[in-house]
């Protein structure tokens, strides 16, 4: 796989986005599946990313400049979440199915894990949804969270080990991680189905980025998309009937850069049909993480535009 290209996507490009915040407008939006309408929640001349929808439907979580924020859906007011030492959070974060916990991916500097010094890099932590001191789940880096199991007992994530980026799972209590993909090339964006039986992910296994599924033990891998797009980050609806995914109009190889022509598309899992919902400028930061509303009729995403000075 092109490891350098992927590192550019997950590490350098977000930092570039931070550096050019004054030149970018980020718009937090809600898409209504029933009406095909878009509603603007928040728009700023700054860079923010990756909304999660709370399990009670009352707020969204997003990341901005290494911090995490709640956006109240009644007032549209954004408030800081206390993540203590974790002040370099990237756009891989999400809420447990019971709504009590938040998983984050923090670019760790030097804090100890289990009393031992650790290497720098993206590490997965959990903390209470209302904020608190994050607890490390794995000391290994780099690791990028993407999914909670419905029972709250395991996390799914993308991690680089020995030069390969693959899908792993681990107990919420830590311990040994389980590698689920071994194919050459990037495997990323793993997320559990609502029934806990399946993991959806995106992979270069076919030679270009497509959406795949597998059983939670890594067996029965199946490619779901095969088209002209570069397809990333498939998120199952709460009823398990649909996937919403982001599709780059131009092939990006193993990268998922920002500020590109993209579409959000809806796949019907019963027949495999795919419907284009909307198109705009986006990519990195748009819909990296689970963002369906509990009602299954809405999801949140971020669109971007350059600001002309």
Secondary structure class of 132 (helix, strand, coil): coil
Element (H, E) at 17: helix 13-19
List the one residue out of 262, 255, 296 whose CA is nearest residue 277. Answer: 262
State how far Cα 294 lies from the chain centre: 17
- 160, 242, 222, 122: CA torsion to nearest 10: 0
Alpha carbon distance 167, 160 (integer Å): 9
Tokens 């002309």 belong to 308
Look up the CATH number of the domain holding residue 47: 2.120.10.30
Q: What is the pLDDT along the chain (309 residues), one digit of tens a residue?
A: 344 444 444 444 444 333 345 699 999 999 999 999 999 999 999 999 999 999 999 999 999 999 999 999 999 999 999 999 999 999 999 999 999 999 999 997 755 555 555 568 899 999 999 999 999 998 789 999 999 999 999 999 999 999 999 999 999 999 999 999 999 999 999 999 999 999 999 999 999 999 999 999 999 999 999 999 999 999 999 999 999 999 999 999 999 999 999 999 999 999 999 999 999 999 999 999 999 999 999 999 999 999 986
- The answer to whether 22 and 292 have CB atoms below 8 angstroms apart is no
pLDDT on residue 7: 45
Task: Quickly tell me which residue has 């937090």 as its tokens.
Answer: 28
Beta bridge partners of 67: 64
SS3 227: coil
Q: Is 60 left (phi over 0), alpha (psi -120 to 50) or beta?
A: beta
Please report the pLDDT score of residue 22 as a whole number: 60
Q: Which residue has the tokens 């067996």?
A: 219
Domain count, the chain: 1
How far apart are alpha carbons 179 and 156 in whole angstroms?
Answer: 10
> Residue 81 is part of which domain span?
3-114+122-306
Query: Which two structure tokens, joined as six digits, stand for 288?
Result: 């990296």
Distance from C-alpha of 191 to C-alpha of 181, rounded to nearest angstrom: 14
Decide if 236 contacts 197 (C-beta within 8 A). no
């Amino acid at each position: 796989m092109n490891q350098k290209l992927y590192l550019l996507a997950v590490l350098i490009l977000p930092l570039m986005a931070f550096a050019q915040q004054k030149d970018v407008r980020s718009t937090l939006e809600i898409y209504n599946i029933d009406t095909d309408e878009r509603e603007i929640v928040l728009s700023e001349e700054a860079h923010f990313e990756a909304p999660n929808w709370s399990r009670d439907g009352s707020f969204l979580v997003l990341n901005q400049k290494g911090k995490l924020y709640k956006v109240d859906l009644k007032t549209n007011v954004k408030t800081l979440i206390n993540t203590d030492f974790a002040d370099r959070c990237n756009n891989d974060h999400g809420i447990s199915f019971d709504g009590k916990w938040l998983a984050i991916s923090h670019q760790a500097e030097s804090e100890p894990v289990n009393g031992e010094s650790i290497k720098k890099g993206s590490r997965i932590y959990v903390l209470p949804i209302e904020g608190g001191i994050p607890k490390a789940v794995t000391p290994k880096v780099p690791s990028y969270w993407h999914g909670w199991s419905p029972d709250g007992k395991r996390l799914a994530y993308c991690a680089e080990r020995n030069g390969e980026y693959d899908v792993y799972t681990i107990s919420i209590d830590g311990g040994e991680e389980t590698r689920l993909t071994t194919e050459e090339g990037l495997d990323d964006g793993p997320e559990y189905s609502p029934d806990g039986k399946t993991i959806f992910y995106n992979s270069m296994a076919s030679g270009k980025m497509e959406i795949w599924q597998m059983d939670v033990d890594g067996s029965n891998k199946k490619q779901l998309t095969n088209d002209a797009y570069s397809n990333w980050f498939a998120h199952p609806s709460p009823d398990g009937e649909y996937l919403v995914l982001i599709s780059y109009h131009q092939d990006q190889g193993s990268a998922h850069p920002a500020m590109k022509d993209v579409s959000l598309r809806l796949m019907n899992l019963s027949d495999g049909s795919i419907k284009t919902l909307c198109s705009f400028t986006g990519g990195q930061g748009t819909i990296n993480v689970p963002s369906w509303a509990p009602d299954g009729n809405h999801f949140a995403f971020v669109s971007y535009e350059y600001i002309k000075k």
